[in-house]
Amino acid sequence: MDNRMSDPTLADMLLVPPHFDGLVADGQRLVEAEIDRKGMTVRTAVRMVKKIKPTIVQRTVRELMPDFLAELEPCHAEFKATDGNDFGAYLAAREERVAEAVLQVADRRAERIGSRPIRSAYSRMRARAITEVRSAVPELARIIERHRRQALAD
């Protein structure tokens, strides 16, 4: 029996159509909403980056999602071992760990950025990023759980 079918990973479930596009769209909305809630410095930095690359948020969410789901797979495996029924709640209860996973993926991506202004903006925001990302974890967890449940129902 194919183990991926009986015990799918987050990637198996969420990196395939139509789930991936929906997950990216929801992730983009979350990022945009979080940016709108932040202070002037963050909004200004993101605005500067968007002038250079208008689709940066969508493209970044799309490009980083596979790595992010891979970072969360250990949490997913632990969750499955608990026989729990709400992975979103499981993630939300591990806010710091999830935020660190997001930032590890972002940091790896930032190392490869060729644009000096974008790298500079990321560096300025990175110092307080854990606090910013942590505040988004509950909604991020709900988004992942909603798409995970949809994938399991298919």
Q: In this structure, is residue 103 part of a structural domain?
A: yes
DSSP characters over 56-120: HHHHHHHHHHHHHHHHHHHHHHHHHHTT-S-HHHHHHTTHHHHHHHHHHHHHHHHHT---HHHHH
Q: Based on the structure, what is the number of domains in the chain?
A: 1
Q: In this structure, is residue 144 part of a structural domain?
A: yes
Q: In this structure, is residue 39 part of a structural domain?
A: yes
What mean pLDDT is predicted for residues 113-124? 81
Question: If you average pLDDT over every residue of the chain, what do you get?
Answer: 90
Q: In this structure, is residue 1 part of a structural domain?
A: no
Q: In this structure, is residue 4 part of a structural domain?
A: no
- Half-sphere exposure at residue 44, Cβ-oriented, CA atoms within 13 angstroms: 5
Long-range contacts of 148-151 (CB under 8 A, 24+ apart): 148/10, 148/13, 148/14, 148/87, 150/19, 150/22, 151/8, 151/13, 151/14, 151/16, 151/19
State what percent of residues in the chain have pLDDT above 70.
Answer: 96
Q: In this structure, is residue 58 part of a structural domain?
A: yes
Nearest 5°: the CA angle 115, 110, 130 is 130
Query: What is the domain extent for residue 132?
Result: 9-153
pTM: 0.85
The number of residues in the chain equals 154
Amino acid letter at 93?
A
State what percent of residues in the chain have pLDDT above 90.
Answer: 64
8 Å CB contact between 81 and 104: no
Q: In this structure, is residue 140 part of a structural domain?
A: yes
What mean pLDDT is predicted for residues 124-138? 87
Distance CA 61, CA 40 (A): 22
Q: In this structure, is residue 81 part of a structural domain?
A: yes
The pLDDT, as a whole number, for residue 6 is 67
Distance CA 66, CA 118 (A): 22
8 Å CB contact between 137 and 99: yes
